[in-house]
Amino acid sequence: MSRTPRAIAFAAALAAGALALSACSTPAAETGSGTSGSDTAASEAFPVTMTNMYGETVIESAPERIATWGWGATDAVLALGIVPVAIASMDYGGGDDRITPWVKDALDELGGETPVVLDASGEVPVEELLATDPDVLIAPYSGLTQEEYDAITGAGVPVVAPTDGIWTTPWRDVITETGTALGREEDAAQIITDMDDQVAEAAAEHPEFAGTTIAYASDSVDTFYLYLPADPRVEILEDLGFVTADSVTALDDGSGSFYATVSGESLDSIDADVIFTQVDDEAALETFLTSDRTRLIPAVAKGAVAAIVGEENVAAVSPTALTFPFILPTIVDQLAEATAVAKG
């Protein structure tokens, strides 16, 4: 792949699906009342005060017109049974209309008007956002700046901004904070429980995963990246029973980064039973599997590789309330095949 880890984390973590809505929808979606937050939100929960990196946000009453920005917020709102009035475009994995397939599925399920798609290729388009007349902007995992925050709140729209830093909010917190902002904390907690249950069930169905060492790798043009347990995508692999290989964790310099790099001549040191990777297309996968460079990795040479292929699937690996059930079956199937090769 020709993308840096930060680009992948933004695109794949701003970075497919029969379980998508059945596993994560709330009673609001099931009863078809998904277009207004006031119908089912616990109005007694308001006013709500939420602290963020730029100050405090006070949401006086249950929002009805919700806008989202960043990664995961749109998915959380939809999983809670509400159709936003405005959402951030997804330029990686979103196709020509810049809406990811799992969001499309949720919108189709809930009905209502298609949200305005805000251009997320740069700064927040504040005027376009405000033109949708939102009651709140949900943006807990985003690159929202102080200037953007001030402009939006100054126009009278409360903002759920990142808590500790841009692009740092854990995926579970994105769901939880969205639930708090919309007066649906219990529903949000249930979504997380359902997601954890799906992983636990998959792990139980594949006991061969337990204790199998794994390395989550991405081959870029000039650099080979290895993702560390701090990355939420690696967390899912470990929750399934895999153990990040010592040869990977040894590269962690303690800086808090979610990845480490390794030089091409040192790839033979990646001692893992299974390699997990992500590529944009089949051609890139073929290169990964057959190049002299990557075949220095013992597991690649053996063929013990679990690969997620295609932009929308790569994007879905970063967990949200909707991507998780969309991609988990594919992840599990790939891991099962690779583990069978590793242990064969």
Same domain, 169 and 57: yes
Same domain, 258 and 305: yes
Same domain, 55 and 182: yes
Quick check: is 27 in a domain?
no
Q: What tokens appear for 166 in the block?
A: 């841009």
Same domain, 174 and 229: no
Quick check: is 83 in a domain?
yes
* Contacting residues for 46 by C-beta, under 8 A, at least 6 apart: 59, 60, 61, 62, 183
Position 112 confidence tier, pLDDT thresholds 50, 70, 90? confident
Same domain, 156 and 266: no
Q: Is 205 exposed, middle or buried (0-12, 13-18, 19+ CB in 10 A)?
A: exposed
Quick check: is 174 in a domain?
yes
Percent of the chain with pLDDT over 70: 88
SS3 329: helix
Question: What residue numbers bound the domain in which 221 lies?
Answer: 206-343
Same domain, 161 and 216: no
Residue 65 has pLDDT above 50, yes or no: yes
Distance between alpha carbon 20 and the CA centroid of its chain, in Å?
Answer: 14
Of 16-25, 55-64, 126-135, 146-155, the range with the lowest mean pLDDT is 16-25
Predicted local distance difference test score (pLDDT) of residue 42: 60
Residue 260 backbone phi and psi in degrees, to 5:
-130, 165
- Count of the separate structural domains present in the chain: 2
Same domain, 183 and 211: no
Residue 20 has pLDDT above 60, yes or no: no
Residue 328 has pLDDT above 80, yes or no: yes
Residue 141 backbone phi and psi in degrees, to 5:
-115, 95
Same domain, 221 and 153: no
Predicted local distance difference test score (pLDDT) of residue 219: 87
For residue 308, give the nearest of 274, 285, 288 by alpha carbon: 285
Predicted local distance difference test score (pLDDT) of residue 45: 85
Task: For the chain, give the mean pLDDT.
Answer: 88
Of 90-99, 123-132, 240-249, 272-281, the range with the lowest mean pLDDT is 90-99
Same domain, 169 and 92: yes
Same domain, 227 and 317: yes
Same domain, 153 and 102: yes
Q: pLDDT tens, 160-203?
A: 999 999 998 999 999 999 999 999 999 999 999 999 999 999 99
* Higher-scoring residue by pLDDT: 10, 254: 254
Same domain, 56 and 170: yes
Point out the domain boundary residue: 157, 188, 219.
188
Quick check: is 216 in a domain?
yes
Position 254 confidence tier, pLDDT thresholds 50, 70, 90? confident
Point out the domain boundary residue: 188, 217, 244.
188
Position 143 confidence tier, pLDDT thresholds 50, 70, 90? very high
Q: pLDDT tens, 197-253?
A: 999 999 999 999 999 999 999 988 678 899 999 898 999 999 999 999 999 999 988
Please state the pTM of the whole predicted model.
Answer: 0.85
* Sheet-wide strand order for 86-88: 116-118, 86-88, 66-68, 136-138, 159-160
Quick check: is 36 in a domain?
no
Quick check: is 249 in a domain?
yes
For residue 272, give the nearest of 229, 204, 186, 211 by alpha carbon: 211
Residue 307 has pLDDT above 90, yes or no: yes
Quick check: is 124 in a domain?
yes
What CATH number should be reported for the domain holding residue 145? 3.40.50.1980
Point out the domain boundary residue: 139, 162, 188.
188
What mean pLDDT comes out for the span 70-84? 97
Quick check: is 182 in a domain?
yes
Q: pLDDT tens, 258-306?
A: 899 988 888 999 999 999 999 999 999 999 999 999 999 999 999 999 9
Asked whether the beta carbons of 65 and 130 are under 8 A apart, the reply is no
